[in-house]
Amino acid sequence: MASEIQTRVLRKITWRIVPFIMLLYFVAFIDRVNIGFASLTMNKDIGLSPTVYGFGAGIFFWGYFLFEVPSNIILHKVGARIWIARVMITWGLVSAAMAFVQGATSFYILRFLLGVAEAGFFPGIILYLSYWFPARQRAAVTALFMAAAPLSTVLGSPISGALLEMDGLFGFKGWQWLFVLEALPAVLLGFVVLAFLTDRPEKAKWLADDERRWLVETMNDETTSKAATASHSIWRGLADPRVLALSLIYFGTWAGLYTLGVWAPQIIKQFGLSSLQVGFLNALPATAAVVAMILWARHSDRTGERTWHVVWACLIAAIGLAYAGLASGVVAVLVALALVNIGISSAKPPLWSMPTLFLSGPAAAAGIATINSIGNLGGFVGPAMIGWIKDQTGSFVGGLYFVSGLLVLSAVLTLLLSRAQTAPVEPVPQSR
């Protein structure tokens, strides 16, 4: 049974931290994938083929990949408050600059720079949560944070569709208005972060003395309890085979997630719908995902089981993608996209509960960033392959099957990692 102070502290830090970081991720995700709606008119205006668009949409993740690890290590050293603020302000400015792309070259450059600017945000928040929440509660809290991604689709899709209808206002295209107006919240919230975010429990003046003392002792005890087997040094975090395995698992889920973000509006629009109709319909599958991922994460926390919660979720998403390739009507496509949304969203919270079980300190910063940066390359491969295959075949089908296969691979790798984890291991030597 949870003690009275545990219940009180967890409730207080949850209400203080989680809604705010959800808002930050909500804005981040809109700025990552609003390109999917912009493409409904932008591609024709500036002459982007499906191959060029898919490659440019995905090149964001190369910037992310190259700067993710150093960004997260800096966050661990200087604190989340300063670094998350820096990330948000710079990505907001770059996202607004997307309104002025002229062709393929400027499109590639700005998408790459957007990845550079945002590098470190997501793994930084995952690391930040590990400072505040005990491992037993972390999947549920992570699920609440990550629910902002499908929520951004639920609320952002109709908004993006509506902004496209501003075409011609003051001489600007609808997609230009979309980029500028959806970038402003990131810049403004960057300054709010400086005033609101608290780096560590030790600095939480908004907790009572006994509450702060309980939280600091609990988190320190948890760190001490895994000291014999956890990796602590940066190089251990980068070189741990389990980090590589989780990176490859995450690769498949990220390919699926950004296939949705970048291509779902076009997949729906091919049935002859308006941009505004696409916006509302694209919100429906994500609505189901919000509910499913929170319930799935709570079940994972309650049972203490992670592996099969990841495996089944990946397989559901794979089935949805394969079905989307066969669907011949709007309703069937929406059902397929709902399966993909539910599966991918549900896989992530239990998956992100795994690395902090065997990494801590600088190793956790480096390891989490490595998993996210390598995994994020799936966000390049998925959209890029779908664009290339569509150019070659005139259809989304082959690309959807390809990404479905990546998710099946993620499920298999999760099972293999679980089997390796249960085998006897030698204690990891500690860096001094």
Residue 212 pLDDT level (bands cut at 50, 70, 90)? very high
Residue 361 pLDDT level (bands cut at 50, 70, 90)? low
Distance CA(259)–CA(147), nearest Å, equals 18
Tokens of 204: 């939480």
Among candidates 137, 140, 151, which has minimal Cα distance to 296?
140
Dihedrals φ, ψ of 217, to 5°?
Answer: -65, -40
Residue 231 pLDDT level (bands cut at 50, 70, 90)? very low
Domains of the chain, by residue range, sit at: 1-222, 240-421
Q: Is the pLDDT of residue 429 over 50?
A: no
Q: What is the pTM of this model?
A: 0.74
Distance CA(55)–CA(50), nearest Å, equals 8
Looking at the chain, the whole-number percentage of residues with pLDDT higher than 90 is 40
Listing DSSP states for 397-414 in one string gives HHHHHHHHHHHHHHHHHH
The vertex-38 CA angle with 35 and 44, nearest 5°, equals: 120
Question: What is the per-residue pLDDT across 13-24, written as a single tens digit (0 to 9) for each?
Answer: 999 999 999 999
Q: What is the pLDDT of residue 100?
A: 94
Question: What is the per-residue pLDDT across 372-393, written as a single tens digit (0 to 9) for each?
Answer: 778 888 888 988 899 899 889 9
* Residues listed for the chain: 432
Distance CA(256)–CA(340), nearest Å, equals 8
Dihedrals φ, ψ of 231, to 5°?
Answer: -85, 140
Q: What is the pLDDT of residue 101?
A: 94
Q: Is the pLDDT of residue 72 over 70?
A: yes
Q: Is the pLDDT of residue 239 over 80?
A: no
Q: What is the pLDDT of residue 365?
A: 65
Return the higher-pLDDT residue of 173 and 154: 173
For 272, how many CA atoms within 13 A lie in the half-sphere containing its CB? 2
Region of poorest pLDDT, from 71-85, 270-284, 354-368:
354-368
Tokens of 4: 């009275």
Q: What is the pLDDT of residue 364?
A: 66
Distance CA(48)–CA(216), nearest Å, equals 53
Distance CA(266)–CA(38), nearest Å, equals 10
Region of poorest pLDDT, from 275-284, 304-313, 359-368:
359-368
Among candidates 172, 193, 19, which has minimal Cα distance to 96?
172
Q: Is the pLDDT of residue 31 over 50?
A: yes
Choosing among 3.40.50.261, 3.30.70.100, 3.30.70.3270, 1.20.1250.20, the CATH entry for 240-421 is: 1.20.1250.20
Residue 226 pLDDT level (bands cut at 50, 70, 90)? low
Residue 232 pLDDT level (bands cut at 50, 70, 90)? very low
CATH of domain 1-222: 1.20.1250.20
Looking at the chain, the whole-number percentage of residues with pLDDT higher than 70 is 91
Q: What is the pLDDT of residue 3?
A: 81
